[in-house]
Amino acid sequence: MRARLAERLGTDQVNVKGKSPEGLGALGQGSGIAAQAVATIDSL
């Protein structure tokens, strides 16, 4: 995922993080699914 994002953005400075809901609510109990994405892109 990191390599493909870096290639598409034309940079090598890409960071990807993942986190689980750790037992909280429907997501943590395995009866739901969610996805979130946040991007900060700055031209130097």
User: In the chain, how many domains are there?
Assistant: 1
Whole-number pLDDT of residue 8? 92
pLDDT in tens, 2-41: 999 899 989 888 988 888 788 888 888 888 888 888 888 8
Q: Which domain holds residue 39?
A: 1-44
Residue 14: count other Cβ atoms within 10 Å of its Cβ: 15
Q: Are 14 and 2 in contact (CB under 8 A)?
A: yes
Whole-number pLDDT of residue 6? 92
